[in-house]
């Protein structure tokens, strides 16, 4: 019997890691393997998931770009092969926020892995607050929506009715066959995942290339209070994603943008540095702005 694969897509900060954590809790009787794709060099999402009792040989990390880009495709396929050898009941793949999932089925088939695993479905997390705003300039979001079987219209608790309606209209204009779930923290009926999906991914060239990668840099520590740093980040129009941990007065905090705000919560286990992702060509300007504001040390330090 082939191992089913469920792929999680969605733009940066939409809620994919929250969805992954929710799914892991919903299948306690299953032997679930996880492949995590972080766009940055630091595996923040993998660190967060490691605390869910997943054995080391059932958790595979691919960092530094999109697994569907030519630059990391081989690492993705090697990861799938390694996970199938552990004979899991299910493989969950969390793609990076910039991932274009077009053509994943042919990719698996051409690598000869279709004898042991197969794509069951893809879930796209659509941020009810910011995904639609970014879709006009980021074709990756459209591809994620177009290639989804299920779409979780997330953050229904903090998005306005107007934002939710506009997002629904956009999704329907791009994908009329997908099932849409308005969700809060990606909670939905997982029994639907057990249905066999009949419609495969669209077979179109992937947009993931080295030429359209956004900028990314990490922050290990800051000068000054975290709240002031977060306020400075909120003024950066070219910011796409921020997530990771900072320490203030001996206490660790995990920070993550929600689309409407940047949340801060106490973190006691995983202390990955903050990853900041910006529009292409804007990373140096954002970093310089934080440097000039006194939050960072000199560039290169």
Q: What is the pLDDT along the chain (301 residues), one digit of tens a residue?
A: 789 899 999 998 899 989 998 998 888 888 999 998 875 554 445 555 655 567 778 888 887 655 565 555 778 888 889 999 999 999 999 988 888 887 777 788 888 888 899 888 899 999 999 999 999 888 889 999 998 989 999 999 999 999 999 999 999 999 988 889 999 999 998 887 755 433 333 434 455 555 556 788 888 888 888 999 998 988 888 888 888 888 888 888 888 887 678 888 888 776 778 888 888 788 889 988 898 888 887 544 4
Whole-number Å distance between alpha carbons of 122 and 255: 27
Spacing of C-alpha 232 from chain mean position: 24
Closest CA to 84 of 184, 171, 5: 5
Asked whether residue 201 falls in the same domain as residue 229, the answer is no
> Do 190 and 67 share a domain, yes or no?
yes
> Among the three residues 154, 177, 210, which one is the final residue of a domain in this structure?
210
Q: Which residue has the tokens 């689309």?
A: 259
Determine the structural domain holding residue 270 and report its residue range.
Answer: 214-292
Of 158, 193, 210, the residue at which a domain comes to its end is 210
Distances (CA, A) of 223 to 220, 226, 227, 273: 11, 9, 11, 14
Q: How many domains does the chain have?
A: 2
Using DSSP's 3-state secondary structure scheme, residue 90 falls into: strand
Can you tell me the distance from the alpha carbon of 102 to that of 143, in angstroms, rounded to the nearest whole number?
A: 7
Is the same domain home to 153 and 286?
no
The reported pTM is 0.67
| Residue bearing tokens 């000869």 | 112
Asked if the structure places residue 298 within a domain, the reply is no
């Amino acid at each position: 019997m082939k191992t089913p694969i469920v792929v999680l897509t969605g733009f940066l900060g939409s809620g994919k890691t929250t969805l992954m954590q929710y799914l892991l809790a919903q299948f306690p009787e299953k032997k679930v393997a996880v492949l995590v794709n972080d766009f940055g060099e630091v595996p923040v999402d993998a660190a967060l998931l490691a605390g869910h009792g997943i054995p080391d040989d059932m958790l595979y990390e691919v960092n530094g770009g999109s697994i569907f880009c030519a630059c990391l495709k081989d690492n993705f396929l090697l990861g799938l092969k390694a996970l199938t050898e552990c004979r899991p009941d299910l493989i969950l793949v969390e793609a990076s926020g910039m991932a274009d999932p077009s053509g994943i089925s042919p990719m698996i088939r051409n690598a000869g892995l279709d004898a042991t695993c197969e794509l069951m479905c893809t879930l796209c997390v659509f941020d009810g607050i910011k995904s639609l705003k970014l879709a006009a300039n980021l074709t990756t979001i459209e591809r994620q929506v177009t290639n989804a079987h299920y779409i979780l219209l997330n953050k229904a608790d903090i998005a306005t009715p107007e934002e939710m309606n506009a997002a629904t209209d956009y999704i329907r204009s791009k994908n009329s066959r997908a099932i849409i779930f308005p969700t809060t923290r990606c909670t939905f009926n997982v029994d639907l995942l057990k249905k066999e999906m009949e419609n495969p991914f669209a077979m179109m060239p992937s947009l993931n290339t080295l030429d359209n990668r956004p900028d990314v840099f990490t922050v290990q520590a800051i000068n000054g209070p975290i709240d002031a740093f977060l306020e400075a980040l909120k003024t950066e129009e070219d910011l796409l994603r921020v997530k990771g941990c900072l320490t203030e007065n001996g206490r660790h905090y995990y920070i993550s943008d929600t689309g409407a705000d940047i949340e801060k919560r106490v973190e006691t286990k995983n202390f990955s540095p903050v990853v900041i992702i910006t529009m292409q060509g804007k990373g140096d300007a954002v970093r310089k702005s934080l440097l000039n504001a006194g939050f960072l040390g000199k560039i290169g330090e």
